[in-house]
Amino acid sequence: DVKVTQSSRYLVKRTGEKVFLECVQDMDHENMFWYRQDPGLGLRLIYFSYDVKMKEKGDIPEGYSVSREKKERFSLILESASTNQTSMYLCASSLLGYTNYGYTFGSGTRLTVV
């Protein structure tokens, strides 16, 4: 069964901490995405990557960075966590050039910053 795996389901971090969210896919997909999901705001794209070492800003990149050293792994980094980054974070992947088949999502990481 193909899947996107996010390393943590729940995380609690302190304000100012550096936070790493990890995502691994086993589908050999080129595209990988990081979204955050908040009530009433839906899915908002933070960053995406269409190849190793490539990254593109999404709609809300401020306060975040990403790393893609291997095709199957895409990491989201919160440089200095703040309470307004408390959210559900979702990783997704897709084949390059085939977005008509949609994205495959991970189960999400619920991050609480205190």
Partner 1 sequence: QKEVEQDPGPLSVPEGAIVSLNCTYSNSAFQYFMWYRQYSRKGPELLMYTYSSGNKEDGRFTAQVDKSSKYISLFIRDSQPSDSATYLCAMTSGGYQKVTFGTGTKLQVIP
Residues in the site for partner 1, rule: CB under 8 A? 4, 40-43, 45, 48, 88, 90, 92, 94, 96-108, 110
Between 4 and 113, whose beta carbon lies closer to partner 1?
A: 4
Q: How far is the CB of 58 from partner 1 (least distance, A)?
A: 9
Q: For 84, list phi and psi in degrees, rounded to 5.
A: -75, 0
Between 85 and 94, whose beta carbon lies closer to partner 1?
A: 94
Q: How far is the CB of 1 from partner 1 (least distance, A)?
A: 12
Residue 36 CA to residue 28 CA, distance in Å, equals 23
C-alpha torsion sign, points 55, 60, 61, 67: negative
Chain Cα centroid distance, residue 102: 16
CA dihedral 34, 105, 42, 52 (to 10 degrees): 20
Between 80 and 109, whose beta carbon lies closer to partner 1?
A: 109
Q: How far is the CB of 21 from partner 1 (least distance, A)?
A: 13
Between 83 and 100, whose beta carbon lies closer to partner 1?
A: 100
Do 34 and 76 form a contact (C-beta atoms < 8 A)? yes
Q: How far is the CB of 70 from partner 1 (least distance, A)?
A: 21
